[in-house]
Every structure is written in structure tokens, then in C-alpha cells.
Amino acid sequence: MRVILSGYIVAIQISMSSAGTIAGAPIEKRLWLKVTASALAIIFALWLGFVAFMWRIMHRQPEDFARVMSHMPWEVFLVVPFETLWTRARAGTLQIGDAAPDFSLIKLDKSAYVRLSEINAKQPVVMIFGSYT
């Protein structure tokens, strides 16, 4: 900026540098902040979409979920809260006192299937889940 005196009129001439300034803030810095904010917003939107996709997949059958997860790289586990999503997706709606859901299992000798409802109709059933390791 330079001041030119000519008679009684004072003129101020402002020369723009290559970076340029507007109201004291560099244009390049404002542009950098705008680009960075836009990039972060896009990345967050993509992340949110991916988390929503995973939430939807976790509510499907375990075979479908396993098929999708077999194609995921291990880095995905660093950026998506899988434990929280899985716990909430598989929480179920059973309460204390509700009847057990009906299911069927194949016998060890693979000769036939056994249904819980068939056994429960004949006698009380106690199911014990545990680990013997």
C-alpha cells in the first residue's frame, strides 16, 4: 500500500499481491479451510453411509452377514464401531419369562432333525449353554 499526495487530495493505492488479501485474511487460507471442511464433510457422510450399511447387514441372517464380512479388509475394523453395532443389532427382544424361540437341530449321527417345540410338548426342556474349554 502506498499513499500518494497530490495537492489537497490524498489517494491510497492498494496493490494486490499474488496471494491477495481481503479484509486482512489471506484468500489462500480461506480457500484451504473451505476445501478442508468440504472434504471432511464428504468423508463423514461416506462413513455414516457405511455404518448405516453395516447396521442393516447386521440385522440380516448370520450367513448374509458373514458373506459381506468376508470381503471386508481388516482396516475397516479400525474406523467402524463393530462391537457396539453388533451388540445392539443382536440384542433381540426376549424378556425374562418369554417362551424360547422354536428351532431345529440335526442329530449328531445326522439321521434326523430335532425341534424344540416337539420335545417341549412331551416334557420340560432345560437348555444349558456353556464352554467346556
pLDDT at position 62: 81
pLDDT at 3 over 50: no
d(CA 74, CA 53): 17
The whole model's pTM is what? 0.50
Note the pLDDT tens digit of each residue in 76-107.
Answer: 888 888 888 888 877 777 788 888 888 898 99
In the chain, domain spans? 24-122
